[in-house]
Chain A
Amino acid sequence: MAGLGSKIKWLFGKNSDLYPMNMPQGMLFWAARRITGVVLAVYIFAHLYVLSTFWSGQAAWGGAMSLMTSDIFVFLDFLLLGAVIVHVVTGAAVIMFDFGVGVRKHKLVYWILAAIGVLLFIGAAYGAYFLIFVKGG
């Protein structure tokens, strides 16, 4: 297979779009921030709707909360926390660059923030695992 090495180099080499420092991180961060932002904006209203159960009294609230603390809703909360993490991490880049912090190293900033996001997501996943399988089970 002559040429395989050069094909790999073409795909992943320093001049490739897949090379870490050439990825369009800014565009990906922008898209991720927008999608999670819309989801979270809609969530605010869902949250207010559920909390409005207070107006229907103690029994109705208890019923709503036993549904909200069920495994499926804890998992949905975990996905929500994932959206929050993505939004916070990508938003941190915006605020940093607005203040001129890390502008000259923006690719590195994106990678560090992405790594922080992954660590937070692992923590959130452990939290969801604990609530569903350890505490709930």
Chain B
Amino acid sequence: MMNNPGKTKGTWAWLLQRVTAVLILVFLAIHIYLAHFSNLNDELLSWENVESRVQALPLLIVDYGLLITAIFHGLNGLRMVGFDFIVDRTKRRAVDVALWIAGIAAVIWGLAIFAPFLGIMGFS
């Protein structure tokens, strides 16, 4: 703890939790409005409408931004809850490794979800 205080204080996790909180608020508002409320008489969730939304770059940026910030915020939040119950440093490090793997895997999973509309990963 004393040897490397900068690495153990968790300042970045604390700061990023707040930054992502604000970003999520913005991204989530745009995401929910466009995907679910922008036209109540239209089938906003139909394949064609999703396709046209995804192929418009600004919205793709909002959705991917929401993906990355929400996964960071969610997993870092679980880390905060978990560390109230896990004090042992070795176990905490194992939790950190597991959460990083889960987070990176979830981001890759999320980025790949729109593959059929983007013509990548074997979809045309």
**For window 109-137 of chain A, which residues contact chain B by CB distance below 8 Å?**
135
The answer to whether A54 touches B74 (Cβ under 8 A) is no
Q: Chain B: which residue is nearest A53 at the CB level?
A: B113
Task: Determine the main DSSP class of A at the interface with B.
Answer: helix
B65 touches A (CB below 8 Å) = no
Separation of A114 and B41 alpha carbons in the complex (Å): 33
Separation of A55 and B120 alpha carbons in the complex (Å): 11
Interface size of A by Cβ–Cβ distance < 8 Å? 26
The answer to whether A41 touches B75 (Cβ under 8 A) is yes
Separation of A110 and B95 alpha carbons in the complex (Å): 33
- Which of A34, A41, A51, A62 is the one whose CB lies under 8 Å from B47? A62
Separation of A88 and B123 alpha carbons in the complex (Å): 38
Q: Residues of A contacting B22 with CB < 8 Å?
A: 95
The answer to whether B81 touches A37 (Cβ under 8 A) is yes
Interface residues of A (CB under 8 A from B): 34, 37-38, 40-41, 44-45, 48, 51-52, 54-55, 57-58, 61-62, 65, 68-69, 84, 88, 91, 94-95, 98, 135
Can you list 21 A-B contacts (CB < 8 A)? A37-B74, A37-B77, A37-B81, A38-B77, A38-B78, A41-B74, A41-B77, A41-B78, A44-B70, A48-B110, A48-B113, A52-B109, A52-B113, A54-B50, A54-B117, A58-B47, A61-B50, A65-B45, A65-B46, A68-B45, A84-B28
